[in-house]
Structure 1
Amino acid sequence: MAKISKRYKKAMDGLDRDKAYSVEEAVKLVKARATAKFDETIELSLNLGVDPRHADQMVRGVVNLPNGTGRTLRVGVFARGAKADEAKAAGADVVGAEDLVEKVQAGNIDFDRCIATPDMMPLVGRLGKVLGPRGMMPNPKIGTVTMDVTNAIKGAKGGSVEFRVEKAGIVQAGVGKASFSEDKLVANVKALADAVAKAKPAGAKGTYIQRVAVSSTMGPGVKVEPSTLLN
């Protein structure tokens, strides 16, 4: 059995693990317990009433958090010609076509988010085994296969978050940093929860959002009452 550290025991002090708090209370508790020596990421986890093994119960999408994520993402763009020039002007960190495909195939992935123009997808499709497991494969459903590379890059760098349900029916994503104010974190949490709610698949039956928790990188999770998340 893993040994519980003194720091974690202290973080648990005054926290009722069986209680579901309002989103405002939960954020306040998590923020107060984020005492690591670095700026911890605040994460939202939602247990959904879906079975991702069925195509009609897949949940995925992208949301622009109103207060950003607090992270600086490196953006890679697969494009040619004028669109490649546009991507560079918009602030893309890596831009290329066949040359970039070769680099990725060799294991050199110098970006956190990947965008591609539609004409590049026959080439990018070869990278499915490399980018797919990392959740980085461009997809038109989440706006990463597009001719509007400028807005896609600005969204990626400005606070857009991709979400996708895992095998266990869980959606988990970062919603900011512990240094954010409580109001900003609450707004980001609600924005992500609202986007997941709107992405409810047709095949989902019964209660869709079943359990919710907020946590920090090094801190304990705090349960959230789902009804306090949605406007």
Structure 2
Amino acid sequence: MAKLSKKQKAAAELDGEKLYGIEEALKMLRDMASKKFDETVEVAMNLGVDPRHADQMVRGMVSLPAGTGKEMKVAVFAKGDKADEALAAGADKVGAEDLMEDMQAGNLNYDRVIATPDMMGVVGRLGKVLGPKGLMPNPKLGTVTPNVAQAVKDAKGGQVEFRVEKMGIIHSGIGKLSFKDADLKANFKALTDAIVKAKPSGAKGKYVRKVTVTSTMGPGLKVDLAEVEGA
């Protein structure tokens, strides 16, 4: 049996029920982190909702003030001047029917897909391809818009989508362990505030039930709900 490292032993001995302030949690994750790569810091929020019901779905976009530390790949469906604007804003791929065919062929290595309203007839044919990957452009999320340049800049600048999963949990990255504490705290606050504000009309009882912060290789640490506005 392989011997556990000191960091692995420390993680195994953690009190799974202890509640941490966000600063203390970040310090612990850094203390236990691998030095081999820059781990991503992730937040999981357990919510008192059942997303099988439309009036309990939680979904939205939020701009993380310190960015994500990840390079976002963005595809845009647009023609003419709008296509030029998207390219100038930094889109990785811009097209129309040609882009649709490329995606149908399995080229889906994108983090965000944006479309102008007039292109939705083309994009609609990709529902079975983009839908399961959560990439289908949606006007409620600002990814169907005539202002494609701003949508591309937002995506590249640290805007992330959050969406509740089957068990009522939202997972989202908020940056890298190499970020300053102040930046991770600002991103944590932006994300949790946005999720609290997105509380759906059908949510009954306690909305935010548990918040956990972790890193790629680190343990999950429960965050004191006092750190989450409106929890």
Deviation at 1:25, TM superposition (A): 1.5
- Are positions 1:132 and 2:131 aligned together? yes
Aligned-partner Cα distance in 1 for 2:216–2:180: 17
Instruction: Report if the CA contact (8 A) 1:11-1:219 is conserved.
Output: no
**3-state DSSP of counterpart to 1:37:** coil
Residue aligning to 1:177: 176
Which amino acid in 1 is paired with 2:105? Answer: A
Aligned-partner Cα distance in 1 for 2:44–2:123: 31
TM-score scaled by structure 2?
0.94
**3-state DSSP of counterpart to 2:161:** strand
Change (3 A) 1:11 1:157: farther
Higher alpha-carbon deviation: 42-51 or 4-13: 4-13
**3-state DSSP of counterpart to 2:19:** coil
1:2-21 paired onto structure 2 within 5 Å? 6=5, 9-12=8-11, 15-21=14-20
Instruction: Report if the CA contact (8 A) 2:19-2:222 is conserved.
Output: yes
Residue aligning to 1:152: 151
Aligned-partner Cα distance in 2 for 1:100–1:7: 50
Tell me the C-alpha RMSD between the 2 structures: 1.8
Deviation at 1:13, TM superposition (A): 6.0
Which amino acid in 2 is paired with 1:228? Answer: E
TM-score scaled by structure 1?
0.94
Change (3 A) 1:202 1:106: same
Deviation at 1:114, TM superposition (A): 0.7
Change (3 A) 1:23 1:56: same
What are the Cα deviations for residues 27-50 of structure 1, in whole angstroms up to 9, with x where unaligned?
222232222411111000000000
Change (3 A) 1:4 1:62: farther
Deviation at 1:22, TM superposition (A): 1.4
Which amino acid in 2 is paired with 1:122? Answer: G
1:213-224 paired onto structure 2 within 5 Å? 213-224=212-223
- Are positions 1:48 and 2:34 aligned together? no
Residue aligning to 1:92: 91
Which amino acid in 1 is paired with 2:163? Answer: R
Higher alpha-carbon deviation: 87-96 or 124-133: 124-133
**3-state DSSP of counterpart to 2:190:** helix
Number of equivalences: 230
**3-state DSSP of counterpart to 2:127:** helix
**3-state DSSP of counterpart to 1:34:** coil
Runs (5+) with no aligned partner, structure 1: none
Which amino acid in 2 is paired with 1:18? Answer: E
Instruction: Report if the CA contact (8 A) 2:41-2:175 is conserved.
Output: yes
Instruction: Report if the CA contact (8 A) 1:94-1:111 is conserved.
Output: no
Same amino acid, percent of matched pairs: 62
Deviation at 1:64, TM superposition (A): 0.3
Aligned-partner Cα distance in 2 for 1:200–1:157: 26
Runs (5+) with no aligned partner, structure 2: none
Residue aligning to 2:22: 23
Change (3 A) 1:204 1:48: same
